[in-house]
Structure 1
Amino acid sequence: MRWETVPLGEVARVVSGATPKTGVPEYWGGPIPWATPAELSRLGSSRIHATERTLTEAGFSSSGVNILPVGSVLLSSRAPIGLVAINTVPMGTNQGFKSLVPSDRVLAPFLYWWLKSHTALLQSKGRGATFLELSKAEVERLQIPLPPLPEQRRIAAILDEAAALRSTWGETRESARRAISSRISALLSKSTDIKPLAQLLAEPMRNGISPSRGGRYEGEVLTLSAITRGAFDPRQRKSDLFAAPHAADKLAIEGLHLICRGNGNAELVGAMVAVTEQLDGVAFPDTMIGFRPSSEINSPTLVAAWRHPTVRDQLRRAARTTNGTYKVNQQSLSSIMVPVPRREDQEQIAALDAERTKLDSQLAQGLVSLDELFASLQHRAFRGEL
């Protein structure tokens, strides 16, 4: 089967986008969809059906926006370079695109997957001092391997099917998480015993330690990413210099609970996780508050209760802003009211949490395997090896 390599500009028309004046209301809110790169970054599939903003006929005429016919391939050319989608309705784009209208020599799904598998190449072609941008000329010069149309159709179908399998596996993982979380939430919601966090401590809260510019002692310290991603991540740490060796009460030891003191994202302020493994000499930073819970509430129950909507509402009200950073302190946290379920319900919550952790790990491993398979398929597809 003969494959040829041709410049992309020979098999597709490259179309730039444009933006009407945003201050003219008459240009906006009409029937013409108008896409931005941000919308492509949130897509859960290869197709784009609708956009957040739309243009009127006046807006379309004023700016020179090109309407892409159905079955074009939208390609973001800046901020960032390399996002792609196929439009299912006629659509315009802003200036952050160099989209492609395929000729009868190339199928849109084949072109979509070729671009999707060559993001690094596209980004390497970007130029600019302030931000990188992919020019129309660079897109037209890209060399694309082109098999006959039936082979293009077969390759695109294989990659579509593999992508659908990955998506289904990811949805299964999220569905399992939600189902178990719902059962935990129901157990928390039926609790009639509510106590301030201050009454659920086995020891006083304390802040972590900060690096020192003139420090003479090298040591490791966690970063906020260790506790703001939904679960404790011991890999998120750094080495720095400190004024003194790490004191024992500043170490992130197994069983310690850590709370985020401050963040630019209000939803992450007050985030809590438990340290789930023993770390060797790693401290927690001054941007965290550490404590151990009393025997009145087990760790999985406390962490789950801390994420319950009634507790999150209290944390939002307690947070204060300073120069764009939301902050909580030991005093405000001490008065947060926490549901304390019955002992048998706590044991059930702990069992459900363990089940969720085990299931999530298994599904995550499966997703990694699918990702590796998909990457292999993409690599082989455009070398004529499928």
Structure 2
Amino acid sequence: MRWETVPLGDVVSPVSSRAGARKLPVYSVTKHSGFVPSTDYFKKQVFSQDLSTYKVVEKGQFAYATIHLDEGSIGVAPEACIISPMYTVFSVDQSRVDAGYLIRLMKSPTAVAQYSRLGRGTAERRKSISLEALGRLGVHLPPLPEQRRIAAILDDADALRSTWGETRESARRAISSRISALLSKSTDIKPLAQLLAEPMRNGISPSRGGRYEGEVLTLSAITRGAFDLRQRKSDLFAAPHAADKLAIEGLHLICRGNGNAELVGAMVAVTDQLDGVAFPDTMIGFRPSSEINSPTLVAAWRHPTVRDQLRRAARTTNGTYKVNQQSLSSIMVPVPRREDQEQIAALDAERARLDSQLARGLVSLDELFASLQHRAFRGEL
């Protein structure tokens, strides 16, 4: 089968039509999902009231973020729409190129790796890539029927990945809903101060003049929904880590400050045995009493009634939201009956088991998709 390699510029043409008075939906072009309605992506309106200078993209035309193409921000318009002037728009020669094939090719790791060298600019992540420069990129084009076959194979593989991911999210939501129902029926509500086995304490800060090297967690270790022991760093401290500053298994950690209001106050339990790793001053640590088990406390802390209290308790300084030991002590926490706590713990363990199993399957599908991409654009499918 004959494949040809041609400059992209030979099979695409620039498009520069402005919206004027034309009323069309506003889209953004994203890294992972291509064209997405702007209000869906940002959860609010971020575009200008005056859309007359926005660019029109007809169904099937391409657009990419001129300064973020090296991150994979390119897509094909699903309908006639308008997008910000910051994007570059082009059409393809449909007699030579299948749009489905080309978008897969242009979002492939091999293509994305080449974009940074095409840009012009001083900041690495802000390089502008003109269509003229992008047009010099060599693209491998088999005959149209083969392009469509390759695109269909990759679409099916990608759909399988999406289905697997949706199954994972559905399992999470279903178990979370059952846990939430058990928490909501609890009639016993107590301040966190009454559920502590030991006093709260802040972590340790690195010291500029420190002479003792040690490891300390970063906030990412506790703000991603579960404890992640990989999120730590080495630094210098004024003294060796004290025992009460170590992130030991069973300790509960709360995010004391964050620029994201939804992350301040986030709580996780340390679920791994670490060797001499401290928690930082941006966290508050404690152990819960036997009155409430760990899975129940962490789940209760994420319950909407508790999150509402945390939002009210947080104070902002220079864009950073903060809570302290005093404000946390008064947060009212539902304390279910012992049998309900045991059920919550069992559900939490089942969620972890299913999530791990589905995550491994998703990794396998990602590896399969990467292999198919590599083979597809080398003519090996």
TM over 0.5: yes
Kindly report which structure 2 residues correspond to 1:43-82, keeping only aligned pairs within 5 A, or say none.
43=33, 48=35, 50-52=37-39, 59-60=51-52, 63=53, 66-81=55-70, 82=72
- Report how many aligned residue pairs link the two structures: 369
Structure 2 counterpart SS, 1:32 = coil
Q: Is 1:332 aligned with 2:327?
A: yes
Cα drift, residue 83 of structure 1: 1.3
Q: Is 1:287 aligned with 2:278?
A: no
CA distance in 2, matches of 1:17, 1:158: 34
CA distance in 2, matches of 1:80, 1:384: 25
Give yes or no for contact 2:313–2:323 (8 Å, CA) kept in 1. Answer: yes
Indicate the RMSD between aligned Cα atoms, in angstroms: 2.0
Q: 1:139-192: per-residue Cα shift (whole Å, max 9, x none)?
A: 111110010010000000000001100000000000000000000000000000
Structure 1 counterpart SS, 2:193 = helix
Kindly report which structure 2 residues correspond to 1:121-200, keeping only aligned pairs within 5 A, or say none.
121-130=114-123, 131-200=126-195
CA distance in 1, matches of 2:57, 2:326: 58
State the TM-score, normalized to the length of structure 2: 0.92
Cα drift, residue 71 of structure 1: 1.1
Give yes or no for contact 2:27–2:36 (8 Å, CA) kept in 1. Answer: no
Amino acid at match of 1:75: Y
Q: State the match for 1:24 in structure 2.
A: none
The 1:77–1:203 alpha-carbon spacing in structure 2 relative to 1, beyond 3 Å, is same
State the TM-score, normalized to the length of structure 1: 0.91
Q: State the match for 1:116 in structure 2.
A: 107
Cα drift, residue 50 of structure 1: 4.5
Q: 1:277-323: per-residue Cα shift (whole Å, max 9, x none)?
A: 11000000011000000000000000000000000000001111111
CA distance in 2, matches of 1:326, 1:49: 30
Give yes or no for contact 1:84–1:116 (8 Å, CA) kept in 2. Answer: yes
Amino acid at match of 1:33: P
CA distance in 1, matches of 2:17, 2:289: 60
CA distance in 2, matches of 1:333, 1:55: 40
Cα drift, residue 59 of structure 1: 4.9
The 1:133–1:182 alpha-carbon spacing in structure 2 relative to 1, beyond 3 Å, is same
Q: 1:31-89: per-residue Cα shift (whole Å, max 9, x none)?
A: 2234334xx2473xx5x474447899x954xx4x5533321122222135431222122
The 1:125–1:16 alpha-carbon spacing in structure 2 relative to 1, beyond 3 Å, is farther
CA distance in 2, matches of 1:181, 1:133: 44
CA distance in 2, matches of 1:34, 1:365: 37
Q: State the match for 2:268 in structure 1.
A: 273
Larger deviation, residues 131-140 vs 205-214: 131-140
CA distance in 1, matches of 2:263, 2:51: 40
Determine what percentage of the aligned residue pairs are the same residue: 71
The unaligned stretches of length 5 or more in structure 2 are 40-44
Q: Is 1:93 aligned with 2:83?
A: yes
Structure 2 counterpart SS, 1:179 = helix
The 1:324–1:50 alpha-carbon spacing in structure 2 relative to 1, beyond 3 Å, is closer
